[in-house]
Chain A
Amino acid sequence: MTSVFGPKELVFLLSGLKWTILLSAIAFTGGGIAGLLVAVGRTAERAWLRRAMILYIGVFQGTPLLMQLFVVYYGLGLLGIQVPAWAAVTIAFTLNASAFLGDIWRGAIQALPRGQTEAAIALGLPLSSRLRDIILPQALRIAQPATVGYAVQLIKGTSLAAIVGFIELARAGQIVSSQTFAPILVFAVVGAIYFALCWPLSLYSARLEAKFAAAR
């Protein structure tokens, strides 16, 4: 059945947008929490922990997001875990985000002067307090521009969920495009919606970066 691109189609795209935002938000939150562990492990004293995190980050940064999606999607089923498509893609994006955010925050932790940690140790602060009160507040502040910048990457990345059939914005666009036979118009609109979502974040990231550069 064919139709023209009208309000009904636009509403369908916006319902896809809802899933894009939800998927990005869950992956960013989950990936943020796991990413903290990755960053801390990556800068830990223990060599085996550091190496494990280097490997973890390297695998996610050295393979296509699409493949990570496929491997998690089919791997979970293999383990006998039957999860719906949306849960599988959420897990995949969360793992990916944890590696990228972990690496961004690793850089920020390493950018702090070594004396901070040494002073905290000399004061007898336990590891948990050292991280919570001294290291992480400063590191996460330095990492703000890159963290916001990664959010843009993540939102764009969720479009790949379309390839495994999850109906978010990009997949909604494919469906509307095949119904209306107006692919150029539909993908221009879909692109414009992504742009409206990502551009403000990009501008915000650039402004944060300029602010930090001026403060230095």
Chain B
Amino acid sequence: MGYELDFSVVWEHLPELLWGCLGTLGLALSGMTLAMIIGVLGVFARGSNMAWLRRLVIAFIEVIRNTPFLVQIFFLYFALPSMGLKLNPTVTAIIALGLNGGAYAIEIIRGGVQSIHKGQVEAGLALGLHKTQVFRLIVLKPAIRAIYPSLTGQFIMLTLTSSICTSVAAYELTSVAQRIESDTFRSFEVYFTVTLMYLAISWMLMTAFAAISRQYFSYPTR
């Protein structure tokens, strides 16, 4: 009658699960990188002189933020090939994560850029810094410092969201877990272990983000 928990299945498949963890980390880090690129470009486009470009960015942000990631990734999974882009599922997943994270990143980064006082930029230019230097040192770095907590929080969310990429069979922890589960029928044992692995991944990322913050952003501001 009673069900006997049997974690030996998990132990046997541990190497595969650990590779899955690396898959998730790789997927998440690639997604974060793409999200940051989209975020920075999006902030420029959002502040452009061209009204159609501004409206396009706003529409992109609203559509992404008000629809589920699952629907977004399904849409891309079918839409990209019809545009002639035949990509493997993992690349599709990275694009989906990047677009999703990018929409949130645009709004977060924009908030940070707006927190920079205009006088600071003028002071930088008056000191003879080049426009790109002003952007990099006077706008970007303090802006990133201001938004660091919400940006890294968003990155953790992105990492957890990456588990949904199993639905297009991308290579990551959840899809590895689903394969092991369907081979062994030890559903609870597998998913319970994998949940703890995700917890460890987010804890590791949080620790790493905090260390980076101490390294780069612990300068005095006044």
* Residues of A in contact with B (beta carbons under 8 Å apart): 59, 62-68, 70-71, 74-75, 77-78, 80, 152, 156-157, 159-160, 162-163, 170, 173-174, 177, 183-184, 187-188, 190-191, 194-195, 198-199, 202
Closest 6 CB pairs of A and B: A159-B68, A64-B163, A198-B66, A183-B78, A156-B68, A74-B187
Contact A64 B67 (CB under 8 A): no
Which residues from chain B contact A190 at a C-beta distance below 8 Å? 71
Which residues from chain A contact B5 at a C-beta distance below 8 Å? 78
Roughly how many angstroms separate A157 CA and B74 CA in the complex, as a whole number? 15
* Nearest Cβ on chain B to A73's Cβ, whole angstroms: 8
Contact A75 B188 (CB under 8 A): yes
Contact B188 A78 (CB under 8 A): yes
Which residues from chain A contact B187 at a C-beta distance below 8 Å? 70, 74
* Residues of B in contact with A (beta carbons under 8 Å apart): 3, 5, 62-63, 65-72, 74-75, 77-79, 82, 156, 160-164, 166-167, 174, 187-188, 191-192, 194-195, 198-199, 202-203
Contact A191 B67 (CB under 8 A): yes
Contact A66 B174 (CB under 8 A): yes
Chain A interface mostly: helix
6 residue pairs of the A-B complex, CB under 8 angstroms, read A63-B160, A157-B68, A159-B70, A170-B68, A188-B75, A195-B62
Contact B74 A183 (CB under 8 A): yes
Contact B199 A59 (CB under 8 A): yes
- Taking each of A70, A80, A156, A190, which has the highest tally of chain B beta carbons within 10 Å of its own beta carbon? A70
In this complex, what residue of B is CB-closest to A174? B74
Contact B75 A62 (CB under 8 A): no
Which residues from chain B contact A65 at a C-beta distance below 8 Å? 160
* Nearest Cβ on chain B to A151's Cβ, whole angstroms: 12
Which residues from chain A contact B62 at a C-beta distance below 8 Å? 195, 199, 202
Choose one: B78, B161, B203; the contact of A184 (CB below 8 Å). B78
Which residues from chain B contact A67 at a C-beta distance below 8 Å? 163, 174, 191, 194-195, 198
Which residues from chain A contact B77 at a C-beta distance below 8 Å? 183
Choose one: A62, A64, A162, A202; the contact of B65 (CB below 8 Å). A202
